[in-house]
Amino acid sequence: MQRLVFAFVFAVSLSLAPLASADQNNFEQCRQIFANGEPPLIKQQEARQLRALCFTAFAVLHSGQSRTPLYVAERLSRKTLQGAHEKRKDKFFADARLPRAERAELDDYKGSGYDRGHMAPAADMTTPESMAQSFSLANMVPQAPRNNRKAWAGIESATRKYVIRAKGDVYVISGPVFDAAPATIGANRVWVPDHLFKLVYDPSTNQAWAHWIDNQDMAKVGKPISYPELVKRTGISFLPNFSGS
């Protein structure tokens, strides 16, 4: 089945730290979050209304078509995760840097039967501002509740455990994958993903792999797929200069 993949970047104006405006594909203020400072390369951008958003601890490429992130990128390390002891805030909000016609609103999720699923996990955040920013709806996708709280939470936890064992920085990119005719929620018709992915790249070993999971309550965590397979399935070159395994 033909799929459209959308990675979404969400940025929040919280007056806590200077953040980039929602300029299309402009990550100049947060290129350090990406491996070698190079954001992913995406095909067929014209209809997606893409906007790049820089946060304190992550970066989002947001799609005004799906009203979700296309992908969310993080740069993690043992040092950053060992400092991740911020209390979870649970104060979700619509991202004011996105035009109203391109964003999800809180009401879209109410009564939908879906969780507001983080792409950059709150548990990865190490400061009050990054914790607050992680609850932007630009960082959320409609996610099956049990999937979000069980299988996907397990993937997030396993990724953190790997990062703590790694020798240096690890780059993580998460996002949704949509069918050609996705289901929607709310008055703004926020797209519901068919699948979710989480790419992990460790420069110290020059290895990259991806977790791939159905967005269903009964979905099970399977064996990771290869980086080339993820690129094939999504049409996105997440690591433009990667030549490893």
Determine the pLDDT at residue 25.
55
**Which pLDDT band holds residue 44 (cuts at 50, 70, 90)?**
low
Torsion of CA 119, 123, 129, 132, to 10 degrees: 60
pLDDT (tens digit per residue) in 151-185: 999 999 999 999 999 999 999 999 999 999 999 99
Beta partners for residue 42, in sequence order: 236
- Can you give the pLDDT at residue 40? 94
Q: Between 201 and 89, whose confidence is greater? A: 201
Q: Which pLDDT score, from 0 to 100, does residue 26 have?
A: 78
**pLDDT category of residue 45 using cuts at 50, 70 and 90:** low
Q: Which residue has the tokens 């002891």?
A: 85
Binned at pLDDT 50, 70 and 90, residue 47 comes out as low
In this prediction, residues 185-214 reach a mean pLDDT of 98
Report whether pLDDT(53) > 70: yes
The residue with tokens 């990771």 is 224
Which helix (H) or strand (E) segment is 176 a member of? strand 170-179
User: Do residues 135 and 55 lie in contact, with contact meaning Cβ atoms separated by under 8 Å?
Assistant: no
| CB neighbourhood size of 183 (10 A) | 15
Residues 79 and 86: their CA atoms lie apart, in Å, by: 15
Distance between CA atoms of residues 239 and 40, nearest Å: 6
Q: Do the domain assignments include residue 23?
A: yes
According to DSSP, the residues that pair with 171 across neighbouring strands are: 75, 201
Region label for 43, one of left (φ > 0), alpha (ψ between -120 and 50) or beta (otherwise): beta
Number of helices (H), then strands (E), belonging to the chain: the values are: 6, 14
| CATH for 65 | 3.40.570.10
31-50 mean pLDDT? 84
Residue 243 covered by a domain: no
In a domain, 15, yes or no: yes
Q: Which residue has the tokens 């791939």?
A: 212
CA distance 112 to 137: 15
CB within 8 A of 96, min separation 6: which ones?
12, 13
Tell whether the model's pLDDT for residue 8 goes beyond 60.
Answer: no
**Which one has a higher pLDDT value, 49 or 68?**
68
| Cβ count near 110 (within 10 Å) | 9
On whether residue 195 sits in a domain, the answer given is yes
In a domain? residue 168: yes
Specify the number of domains making up the chain. 1
Which of 36, 29, 85, 99 lies closest to 60, judged by CA? 29
**pLDDT tens digit string along 58-115?**
999 999 999 999 999 999 999 989 877 778 878 999 999 999 999 999 999 999 999 9
Give 244's pLDDT tier (boundaries 50, 70, 90): confident
Residue 242 in domain: no
92 domain residue, yes or no: yes
Look at 128 and 46; give whichever has higher pLDDT: 128
Q: What is the pLDDT of residue 121?
A: 97
**244 located within any domain:** no
* 53 vs 55: CA distance, rounded Å: 7
State which residues form the domain around 221. Answer: 3-237
pTM to 2 decimals? 0.90
Average pLDDT on 213-240 reads 96
Task: Concatenate the DSSP letters of all residues of 7-41 into one string.
Answer: --------SSS-----BTT--TTSGGGSGGG-PPE
Catalytic residues: 118
What is the overall mean pLDDT for the chain?
Answer: 89
